[in-house]
Amino acid sequence: MQFMPYAKIALYCIFCLKKRLHSIFTNIWKNDRKQLNIVKRYIKFFTFDKQCKSFNKSINEMTIKKTTLFLTLKKLQFEVTSSGEKRIEYRKAGKWILSRLINKDYEFVQFTNGYGKDKPYFICEFKGWRYAKPGVFKFSNGLIVNIDEGYVEISLGNIIALKNINKL
């Protein structure tokens, strides 16, 4: 994680150097077209404009993916959680979910309903997790959640984004 800011700085420095070299060589060889074209070809080899933007985008996507917990929900759970009525997600404490929660530091949770390119999903804040106490919870759409021992509860914050909700 510490490497990312340095990589961005290095790429930005190369980008600025390329622009500076172009302006210097253009001024030096403005009368000698042949030399100027050779220099332009070499500078064109180092076109970091698009690479710099795509690099920053991929760095940001990688950072978001590393700080987001991705989970799927069935339709009834998705409805009450995306409406903000259900602020805690319960999961059976198996190997899979524990491997994603123990010693991890998330900022967001992305819940999806179904699979495919245009699946409905929403992103909310991750407030932490703990082992759940047994209980029964009823929600407005008829969903009843029975929690036994051996479950974890994932606390959710504000909903940040809702996408493709009309596909439900």
Which pairing describes strands 88-92 and 144-147: parallel, antiparallel, or unpaired?
Answer: unpaired
pLDDT of residue 46: 47
* Closest of 76, 72, 82 to residue 145, by C-alpha: 76
pLDDT of residue 5: 53
* Closest of 133, 123, 121 to residue 93, by C-alpha: 133
DSSP state of 13: H
Q: Does the domain at residues 67-167 carry the CATH identifier 2.30.130.30?
A: yes
Domain ranges of the chain: 3-65, 67-167
Residues for the chain: how many in total? 168
- Number of alpha carbons in the 13 Å side-chain half-sphere of residue 46: 16
Residue 78, C-beta contacts closer than 8 angstroms, at least 6 positions apart? 111, 113, 120, 168
pLDDT of residue 164: 86
Per-residue CA distances from 54 to 34, 49, 165 (Å): 33, 9, 29
Instruction: Give me the average pLDDT of each 10-residue run along the chain (168 residues).
Output: 52 56 56 59 51 52 72 92 92 94 91 87 93 93 91 94 79
pLDDT of residue 166: 77
